[in-house]
Copies of this chain bind each other. A is one copy, B any other.
């Protein structure tokens, strides 16, 4: 492996390891536990589940891997806070969406070449990318892994 291939492996290993830890945690938390807030006045487990599904679903178009599977989640769990009073899917559906979005991402990642990972993601123009070549697809995965770790640190609080 050359260093570019090694770095792709590093970034995907970190992504997969945090996904596994989070998935295991969600499987251990009951629907009732997910209804609890992380701390009084903070997000509930359900909101964070929806938030992570929505943010990860949005990675599909950003990485050029197709359309979002559940576009309506983005408005509910990213563009609006938990107290916006928007109608939410049942928790059992959110759990199903989690599995579907990550299965789709995993399949798509398997087919991506190293060169593709170092190419621009879809929210950066080709012109900007020439000046900011770090705004590539791999960086998106690294940033989303940090975002996932941030919320995983909160979700473990619900596991008592």
Contacts and interface: CB of A to CB of B under 8 A. Distances in A.
Protomer copies: 2
A153 interface: yes
Say which size band chain A's interface belongs to: 20 to 34
Contacts of A133: 1, 6
A145 interface: yes
Contacts of A6: 118, 133-134, 136
A15 to B, nearest CB: 10
Q: Which of A11, A13, A150 has the most CB of B within 10 A?
A: A150
Interface string A143-160: 101110111111001001
Given A6-B136, A133-B1, A42 B142 contact: no
Given A153-B152, A154-B154, A142 B14 contact: yes
A124 interface: no
Interface of A: 1, 3-4, 6-7, 9-11, 13-14, 18, 38-39, 41-42, 118, 133-134, 136, 138-139, 142-143, 145-147, 149-154, 157, 160
